[in-house]
Structure 1
Amino acid sequence: MRPYKGYVAEIWYEEDDTAFHGIVQGIRDTVHFEGNSSEEFTQAFHDSVDDYLAFCKEQGVEPQKPYSGKLALRTTPEIHALLSKAAAHDGKSVNQWVSDTLAEVARKRVDEGSTKVRTRTH
C-alpha cells in the first residue's frame, strides 16, 4: 500500500472477521482502519488519515509526523566496530554511512512493490 499524505500503514488480516485491518505507523496516536476489499481498505486508510488531520486541526494541535529523522539503533560492539571501519573506508561518518546504506536497501525493498500482510488468529 502506498503512503498517503506522508503516513504509512501497517496491515494485518483478521481471520475471525475476515477483514483487513491497519494502523498508521510511526506516530503515538492510534489511527485504525479496516476493510473487506483492497479498494475499501485503501479508502478507509485515506479517510482515517484525513479524519485524523481534521481532528487535530479542530483541536488546535499539530498532527504527529510519521518520522522525525532520528533513529535509535542498538547493536553489538563488534558490529559497531565493523560499521566504523566500513564508514571510514568510504570516507563517511558512521551516521552518514548507516543512513546511506539503509536508504539504498530500503529503496530496493520498496521498489520490489510487495506489502507483507500479517495474519492474526485468536
Structure 2
Amino acid sequence: MIETIKKAKARRNIDKPLILHSDRGSQYVSKEYKRVTATMQCSYSKKAYPWDNACIESFHSLIKREWLNRFKIRDYDHAYRLIFEYLEAFYNTKRIHSHCDYMSPKDYEELYRRLQQDELQLAG
C-alpha cells in the first residue's frame, strides 16, 4: 500500500493538498504510513459506520460486472494486470462518470486545469 501511494503521488505529480480516505485498519496507522502521508490530509471512516464504505463497494461491484467477470483469473499477477488495465486504459481515461459531468476523470481533470490556468491569466 505504501508503494501504491508513492507511485500515485509521483505519477500524478501531486503538489497540491491531497485527501486520502481509508478505513481504520492497522496498516493505516503504522509509522511508515504516517510518514508517507505526512503531507496529506488523512480521512478515516467512523467506527461502526459501514456507510463510509458504500463508494468502494459500489466500485467493486462495477469492476466485477464490467471487467473481471469476463475472465478466469489464474493468480494474483493476472488479477493485478487485469485491474491495472481496467483502471488505466478504461475507467480513468474513457469511462464517463456522472459526478464528472459525464466526462472521464482524465477529461474532467484536464478541463479543471485549463479553467484554473485561465483564471490565473485573467487575474494576473
Q: What range is the shorter-chain TM-score in?
A: under 0.3
| Length-normalised TM-score, structure 1 | 0.28
After TM superposition, the score normalised by the length of structure 2 is 0.28
| Greater Rg over alpha carbons, structure | 1
More helix by share: 2
More strand by share: 1
* Higher relative contact order, chain-length normalized (CA < 8 Å, sep 6+): 1
